[in-house]
Amino acid sequence: QVQLVQSGAEVKKPGASVKVSCKASGYPFTNFYTFWVRQAPGQGLEWLGTINSSGGATRTTLKFRDRVSLSRDTSTSTVYMEMDMLTSEDTAVYYCARARGVGNDGTYPFDHWGQGTLVTVSS
């Protein structure tokens, strides 16, 4: 079955960086785009960026373009999200998710999600 398993919770100080991983299994990894979404405490869902799991091309929402980088390792079917210059406003649960379809630049909804990774930024 399709599974996305994320790395564990992180506690970081302001100004630090965090790197969250998302290991995929149960499907041909390079056929599907992967997405990153975050949710601050008590708030809604916010799309951060997308990576083509095959070619590695990425798209990031303008708000995070200078601070978020996405990468993937096809040998381990793992995608990574790294965020720099953390502030307390980055405290949130970060999710990875898979596109519901293949190709089409990944313009699909998200049909499978990781369990979420809590990133806490605190001095």
Partner 1 sequence: DIQMTQSPSTLSASVGDRVTITCRTGQNINTNLAWYQQKPGKAPQLLIYEASSLESGVPSRFSGSGSGTEFTLSISSLQPDDFATYYCQHYHYFWTFGPGTRVEIE
- For partner 1, the binding residues (CB under 8 A) are 35, 37, 44-47, 50, 59, 61-62, 95, 97, 100, 105, 107-111, 113-116
Q: In the bound complex, what is the minimum distance in angstroms from residue 108's beta carbon to partner 1?
A: 6
Q: In the bound complex, what is the minimum distance in angstroms from residue 62's beta carbon to partner 1?
A: 8
CA angle (14, 119, 27) in 5-degree steps:
140
CB 11 within 8 A of CB 29: no
Nearer to partner 1 among residue 62 and residue 75 (C-beta): 62
Nearer to partner 1 among residue 17 and residue 57 (C-beta): 57
User: Which of 77, 75, 89 lies closest to 114 in space, CA to CA?
Assistant: 77
Type of residue at 29: F
Nearer to partner 1 among residue 16 and residue 63 (C-beta): 63
Q: In the bound complex, what is the minimum distance in angstroms from residue 123's beta carbon to partner 1?
A: 26
Burial call 63-73: b when 16+ CB within 10 Å, e when fewer: ebeebbbbebe
